[in-house]
Structure 1
């Protein structure tokens, strides 16, 4: 998740939703991504006192799907372009708020899975390398990754295992499989 968010738009420093929208507009102009991702939105750090809303995202980016994750990584706001792609999959889930575009609980995880599945494995590996290099540059020497959500055949778990084994910067990498299926964990030697 960090690798995907780190490669996207960081809105943590924004002081208002209008500032987030300006940042988004600038990012959209230079991004070639199919889905625009952002991270760090918070109702507590902006003067508006609420998360940026779906209709506001639509004004800035009506044609490309937008996925802005809340600072805690457990909720998001999406625009109408993304909502239209997944509405039928999420409209009956807890945490679905079509009016604001905010997704919590099961709706958030369903949206997150959809977005994760849209990232090519090669692009993900590049993002993971950039994220690991960044973490090493600020003194982080070990990554504990919790994976197993969103990729078919649990590809993310295997990619991370091989990626971690190939790091040459001294970074230690541990993968924790987020599953209740212990056979999957044992099969990969992650016990």
Structure 2
């Protein structure tokens, strides 16, 4: 059985904050604890925290925290292979993000929805979501979101054997974002291009 003294102390503090009416402080700790459990792949405890957090976020009308919790729930369901539940969480998060015109979150959610469609081999829907994320990320200057969308679109192109489109996209990205600060993505894009070029020559 997993035991974590730090978690026990946080649980006691969360309980104290709730009892004294300091729900925002409790919610902050709950989200931190859920994130830690999620990274440790302790799924049951993660969901306990997230459900409690969602309840408190609703009570104090914290939309930002509700979105965070829904995204984490979606990630948890995705990791467990529960795609339908993941879609439900992501679509609800998207609804809140649209209502509050949170464009960065909209781009993020569109990207993960596209990734889920890719996982289900529903490539046409994947491209719709990913291209939405791509264009919005470009519009608002959200470079990380733009590069993530490009990476996922390239995967879809590979699956659909649209080699020329993938090569064009990769070359454009490497030309536009060749700076050292984007170097994390460079090996990924060159990795994509090598097999594509090879297959095109066969």
TM-score range for the pair, normalised by the shorter chain length: 0.3 to 0.5
Larger Rg computed on CA atoms: 2
Q: Which has the higher strand share?
A: 1
Highest RCO, 1 vs 2 (Cα 8 Å, sep ≥ 6): 1
Q: Which has the higher helix share?
A: 2
**TM-score after normalising by structure 1:** 0.37
**TM-score after normalising by structure 2:** 0.35
